Structure 1
Amino acid sequence: MAKDVLIEIGLEEMPAHVVVPSMNQLEAKVATFFEEHHLSYDDIRAYSTPRRLAVLVTAVPERQADVKEEIKGPAKKIALDQEGNWSKAAQGFVRGQGLTTEDIVFKELKGVEYVYVTKKTTGQLTLDVLSELKEVITSLTFPVTMHWNRYDFEYIRPIHWLVALYGEQIIPFKILDVETNRFSRGHRFLGQDVSFDHPAEYTKKLAEQFVIVDSAERQQTIINQITAIATAHQWQISLDKELLEEVTNLVEYPTAFVGNFAKKYLTVPEEVLVTSMKEHQRYFDVRTADGELLPHFVSVRNGNAYDIQNVVKGNEKVLTARLEDAEFFYQEDQKLAIASCVEKLKHVAFHEKIGSIYEKMKRVGAIAQIIGATVGLNEDEMDDLQRASEIYKFDLVTNMVGEFPELQGIMGEKYALIQGERPGVATAIREHYLPIASEGDLPKSNVGSVLAIADKVDSLFTFFAAGMIPSGSNDPYALRRQTYGIIRIIEDKQWYFPFEELKIAIQEKINGDLATYGITLSDEDALVVDFLKARVRQRLSSKEIRHDIIDAVLASEQKDVSQLFQAASILSRHLTDSEFKPSIEALTRVMNLAKKYTGENQTIQPELFENQAEKELFTAVMDAEDNFSSRTMEENYQALTELRPYIEAYFDQTMVMVDNQEIRHNRLALLARVSKMALALASLDNLITK
């Protein structure tokens, strides 16, 4: 008879961001356990609250399924000696399987006969197998762990109780000093201990003790309550996804409520108010239908509505204290001059091995001018870029950013506008941090985009120069994310960006005036270039570009980063064309032979041609070359594919590797000219055309 299985791990309150990943991990590991132990089931459901992780598995049979497994042993020639007797290898093999040589049969595999035996395993009682779930529980991994009491064992939080049931029976095992039983705990303040007669009672009995164990149900309850509040007051309340998930995993029994703060605080920048509410207090901000911020907030209590007004007053008091500080900081910061803030940055370290933030700003200013000129900023944009690079970190020494680090850049923009800086300068100050996350928003303005690239390029170059190069998963200064941000901005803007040339120019500028910039940049091009190409690979992979196309593009001789993305897009778009396979195969044949060319200038002597195909290919190649640098990459791809019939005719009529050295060299030079054009697109010989 099939029965349900319930496992619940009772813990001290976990950090909200750990709850759902841990629940999912437990569910996955339990499912794997059942599969590996040949236990069938109908369904598996995972549950979680800040104080518990649980899984409920339905319809598990009373005994494991019997297993028949065919096991391959040594080859027949090894299993039998010259007299036809079983060798030690054969005897050892069957003994290891708990069988005898009488169980051996021979089967042919790829023309060779091997020893095979069929091993039969009788299923154990399910209750005996389930006691091994202890290993599943203790194998869970967490971003942070702790140990408690006298134990060396570490977990996300101390384990206080364990529920383990198979039907009405307790699954016996013990973790540290906690033994499994059928008793769980209700809400910390509203509920009582609860006993389960069988797993199916789990969600219902805990709900009676003010615990909603289904996180999706708990989240929907919060959504319904806040929606009702918004409807009643005709408010607009945006349910930020990350905040909603966090709040869901901070409570076991949610009750939403409204709090208020004084209207005078609305004179403080909106971002400060929202940050105070969202990031520090986990409140939802409230707006009019037109999006105007109102002096109210919505929060969620871990409990019922009893005496809710006291809870409201407590939350209002905490928020008011924080807003009072924010208002004071905002007023005081407006008394600071930007120049004095920049001067203070001379004494604020960027990194002990690299120098101050002021020195970083000086380097970034020089880098930004090089990049700005390369990507084609106009005169006004270059002026804004120069001014922005001189001051863009000044808000780091303001009171507001000291209290609310999340507002760096945002407050810089606001204070810059207050002090009369041009809008383009102020916008760049805010945008230079973008993207904040790998797939976060990108800067929109050209000046902000160049400043963001320059700031990240400086971090990349200086950390590499100081020997702090990411390895494995170790990347404490987020250089991978910053470089990925550079790639995304370039892709978005489609700017001409010859990274290796820019690197040389930047190195010469910085290293040429150490007194100004404070550090010597590394001249090991390969390390930084390879690091950047790895981020290009990451970006292309995120677009589900075929791996061989990515390899081909990255192995090209194209120096412009933007063109790498265009090349990958073009090749992906033409994969299904009828001309794609024969064209790539023809060009690949050319490229393989062109590798044998040892000349430098690829000069061709038409008088050495011996057949019409050579002449026609030469004419076609010259036509393609004439406009190659001025055409789009798509047009160049089409020009290359149009060479296919000339290439095929050429190889039909021409032997390239002839004995005559002069003729052979001339023919290889022609093929090298074709290969050079192809390599500007991609290393096409890396493409898989089968």
Structure 2
Amino acid sequence: MSARDILFEIGMEEIPAGFIAPALEYMQQTMEKWLTQSRIDFTSLQTCATPRRLTIIAHHVAATGANVEQELLGPAQSVAYDASGALTKAGEGFLRGKGLQPSDAYLKETPKGTYLAAMKREQGLDTATALPEFFTQLVLNFPFKKSMRWGTRKIRFARPIKHFILLWGNDVLPMNIEGIVSGRTTFGHRFLGASSIEITSAADYATQLEKEYVIVDIARRQEMIRQGCAAIAAQMNGTVVGGESLTALTANLVEYPVAVMGSFEEKFRELPDELLITSMREHQKYFALQGADGTLLPAFITISNMPIDDTSAIRQGNERVLRARLSDAFFYYAEDQKAPLASRLAALEKVVFQEQLGTVGEKVSRIRGNGYAIGKLAGLNDEQLADVDQIALLAKCDLTTGMVYEFPELQGIMGREYARKEGYKPVVAAGVNEHWAPRFAGDNVASSLEAAVVSMADKLDTIVGCFGVGLLPSGSYDPYALRRQSLGVLHTLAHHEIDVPLGDLIRVALDNLTTKLTRNTEIVFDDVLNFTTQRARVFFEKNVGFDYDVVDAVFSTGFSSVITVRHKLDALSYLKSRDDYRSVIETFRRAGNIVPADFSAAVDTTLCLLDVEKALLAAVQSAAPNVHTACQGGRYDEVFAVVLQLKPTVDAFFDGVMVMDKDEALKRNRLALLSSVMALFSEVADFRKLVIE
């Protein structure tokens, strides 16, 4: 029988937009795995969806899975058979475990002797017969983050299921889950399409639905949205604000996207741009429009699900909704400014940050203390320190404003706007917002050094505080986002080149948390340092892009400051880029590997009898002061220059002596010589960790 296409559609009530991408990924991965494991050939898988259907199409699927034969070896003959030639319990157990019968067994000669053997033959699946059960299990095991039951059914799904389509070529395959029976019938657009469409095949699926105002290809809906928005923006001599994430979201809210322009009153442009964008984007899923001068236009684009000629009713309805929301924002914006930002500090004493760590007001006090100490370590002058304190004082004040209560996404942004209006210095006003940065992976760090210090002061208080009261993150538990906050600290240190040991920063936060800790201070310090060091490994490997073995080699010598480690990684990466890198590292890895881990001995110059021993000792003694000075100055490229200079001498040593000499004294002295070589670079990298491909 020739290969056929498979079409499987789940028709349902409208599913949340955010559920669609994970659902399609699950469907594709599950079906691909099943087809592969079942040895059923296919050419490709395609997924598509709208808010009311999830669909997967498999192209050119074989009618049967491939048959397999596999010879299995069991116990040796002496173990599998007794003296009379009957199977022993060991022999019977082997066959039973493989699903075989005694008649399947035979003896096989191998280089290791005679063994019990059997040929296991497995018939390939009949695809059409197996598909209904496969798709039944696929539906029953959907990993939605939220699901429901409806009616009297026990099945759970994101939204009530209306129908299944299961086509094998042009034929319907029978499938039944609690009375929901498969067929070939689906529905078109909720308002404009037919309520019943008979799908003939996978090849005709998209075309048949498009005739009923349903575009099943998500990528095509996204492109329609881009083109519609671009056309409106061109009419307005502006550009679209919203980006690809909003395009992807709105594409999963509609079945036939149509871009419709609306407008809002000029008075609302008095509100901050971020507020207008947030209100339109987050709450209404509207695209904002920006003029050539960078200011927002009093207009927006909504994506309608109604491909009709007259969209005036759609425009007016959306304008009414937006007007109501912006009117609320306008009210809160005016009300908030009746009280100075700093006057809201008292209200923060009633806002709990964490039960054991106290209120947000207490946290602000700790941030101020941390900020001053970190600022001093970072070399800030008195004026900068005063700005740090001002930022820390105001940083959380907007949390009690009506605007942030109504629009939580605007925390920090509203604090910045209110601080500007009250006449605070630009660096302070900007810092009130930027102290939250980086908020997520890929976000920018605070632009000013003052805001960066407050950002670290805040994040370190959270990290150390949580560790101090036993709220340690695990693989599945990190409610205070300590991993993200640790990476935020590391990003900030690297961006602003703040060369302060991480341990010193942790001590600062510990000193301001002494009355809150429920765990031993030194244990907390070690835990936080180890946790942050592990995040630093991830940061330098995944975020910065250093090779994993280079990171391993440098971190194996200890972790001090982000900047120091960065300089070491840069220097070692440059060494690795050299054409002679392999030869150089082989030499020093050999030196490191031959010295036992617990070895400790000083070189006895009187036992350096051979010229190559004397030469190596002289080279080490000559290099040591230069290496020490270079390390002190952070000039690690100079340290690796010494590596290159030493290589010929170390090679000559290996060629000229037997390190593991029978004479114990000579052997010990030669190991001490090699140990002194490796000690030169022990502050920079462990060459034994480097990988040579």
Corresponding residue of 2:337: 334
Corresponding residue of 1:317: 320
TM-score (norm: length of structure 2)? 0.90
Letter in 1 for 2:5: D
Deviation of 1:52 (Å) = 1.1
Q: 1:89 to 1:576 in 2, by over 3 A?
A: farther
Corresponding residue of 1:276: 279
Pair 1:541-2:541 in alignment: yes
Q: How does 1:427-576 map to 2 (within 5 A)?
A: 427-508=430-511, 510-511=513-514, 514=515, 522-524=521-523, 525-542=525-542, 543=544, 545-576=546-577
Corresponding residue of 2:300: 297
Using the TM superposition, name which of 129-138 and 543-552 deviates more.
543-552
Letter in 1 for 2:539: R
Q: Residues 225-245 of structure 1, C-alpha deviation per residue, up to 9 Å, x if partnerless?
A: 222222233332235111111
Q: Distance in 1 between matches of 2:215 and 2:659?
A: 79
Q: How does 1:40-55 map to 2 (within 5 A)?
A: 40-55=41-56
Q: 1:81 to 1:682 in 2, by over 3 A?
A: farther
Letter in 2 for 1:688: V
Does the aligned pair in 1 maintain the 2:75–2:90 contact within 8 Å?
yes
Q: Residues 429-467 of structure 1, C-alpha deviation per residue, up to 9 Å, x if partnerless?
A: 111111111222222211122211111111000011111
Using the TM superposition, name which of 500-509 and 247-256 deviates more.
500-509
Letter in 1 for 2:132: S
Does the aligned pair in 2 maintain the 1:594–1:669 contact within 8 Å?
no
Q: 1:400 to 1:595 in 2, by over 3 A?
A: same
Q: Distance in 2 between matches of 1:546 and 1:68?
A: 43
Q: Residues 68-127 of structure 1, C-alpha deviation per residue, up to 9 Å, x if partnerless?
A: 334343345533445666544345544544455566363647x56654433333334322
Does the aligned pair in 2 maintain the 1:510–1:521 contact within 8 Å?
no
Pair 1:147-2:146 in alignment: no
Q: How many residues align?
A: 681
- Structure 1 unmatched runs, 5+: none
Q: 1:554 to 1:624 in 2, by over 3 A?
A: closer
Identity score, percent: 31
Aligned residue for 2:688, secondary structure, equals: helix
Aligned residue for 1:470, secondary structure, equals: coil
Letter in 2 for 1:162: F
Letter in 1 for 2:39: H
Q: Distance in 2 between matches of 1:620 and 1:234?
A: 67
Q: Residues 630-685 of structure 1, C-alpha deviation per residue, up to 9 Å, x if partnerless?
A: 24222222223433333344554585999888x99987776555444423212322
Letter in 2 for 1:158: P
Does the aligned pair in 2 maintain the 1:557–1:682 contact within 8 Å?
no
Q: 1:76 to 1:520 in 2, by over 3 A?
A: closer
Q: Residues 244-287 of structure 1, C-alpha deviation per residue, up to 9 Å, x if partnerless?
A: 11000011111110111001111111111111101110000012
Q: Distance in 2 between matches of 1:64 and 1:387?
A: 71
Q: Distance in 1 between matches of 2:483 and 2:279?
A: 30
Q: How does 1:651-690 map to 2 (within 5 A)?
A: 652-653=656-657, 674-689=677-692
Q: 1:63 to 1:327 in 2, by over 3 A?
A: same
Q: 1:403 to 1:9 in 2, by over 3 A?
A: same
Deviation of 1:22 (Å) = 1.1
Deviation of 1:384 (Å) = 1.4
Corresponding residue of 1:226: 229
Deviation of 1:335 (Å) = 1.6
Aligned residue for 1:131, secondary structure, equals: helix
TM-score (norm: length of structure 1)? 0.91
Q: Distance in 2 between matches of 1:160 and 1:280?
A: 29
Pair 1:162-2:161 in alignment: no
Q: How does 1:185-196 map to 2 (within 5 A)?
A: 185-191=187-193, 192-196=195-199
RMSD over aligned CA atoms reads 2.9
Q: Residues 500-548 of structure 1, C-alpha deviation per residue, up to 9 Å, x if partnerless?
A: 233234424543xx4xx89888431221112112212222331554433
Corresponding residue of 2:355: 352
Q: How does 1:106-117 map to 2 (within 5 A)?
A: 106=108, 108=110, 111=112, 114-117=115-118
Deviation of 1:412 (Å) = 1.1
Does the aligned pair in 2 maintain the 1:354–1:519 contact within 8 Å?
no
Pair 1:364-2:363 in alignment: no
Pair 1:615-2:618 in alignment: yes
Pair 1:209-2:208 in alignment: no
Does the aligned pair in 1 maintain the 2:404–2:414 contact within 8 Å?
yes
Q: Distance in 2 between matches of 1:102 and 1:292?
A: 81
Q: Residues 587-618 of structure 1, C-alpha deviation per residue, up to 9 Å, x if partnerless?
A: 4455553744558xx8x786775552323332
Aligned residue for 1:44, secondary structure, equals: strand
Deviation of 1:377 (Å) = 2.8
Which residue of 231, 238, 244 corresponds with 2:241? 238
Does the aligned pair in 2 maintain the 1:46–1:56 contact within 8 Å?
yes
Q: Residues 171-214 of structure 1, C-alpha deviation per residue, up to 9 Å, x if partnerless?
A: 22222331211111222222212122333221122212221111
Letter in 2 for 1:68: E
Q: Distance in 1 between matches of 2:291 and 2:581?
A: 57
Deviation of 1:416 (Å) = 1.1
Q: 1:630 to 1:233 in 2, by over 3 A?
A: closer
Pair 1:638-2:641 in alignment: yes
Letter in 2 for 1:615: A
Corresponding residue of 1:405: 408
Q: 1:434 to 1:518 in 2, by over 3 A?
A: same
Aligned residue for 1:234, secondary structure, equals: coil
Deviation of 1:53 (Å) = 0.7
Letter in 1 for 2:584: S
Letter in 2 for 1:178: I
Does the aligned pair in 1 maintain the 2:228–2:258 contact within 8 Å?
yes
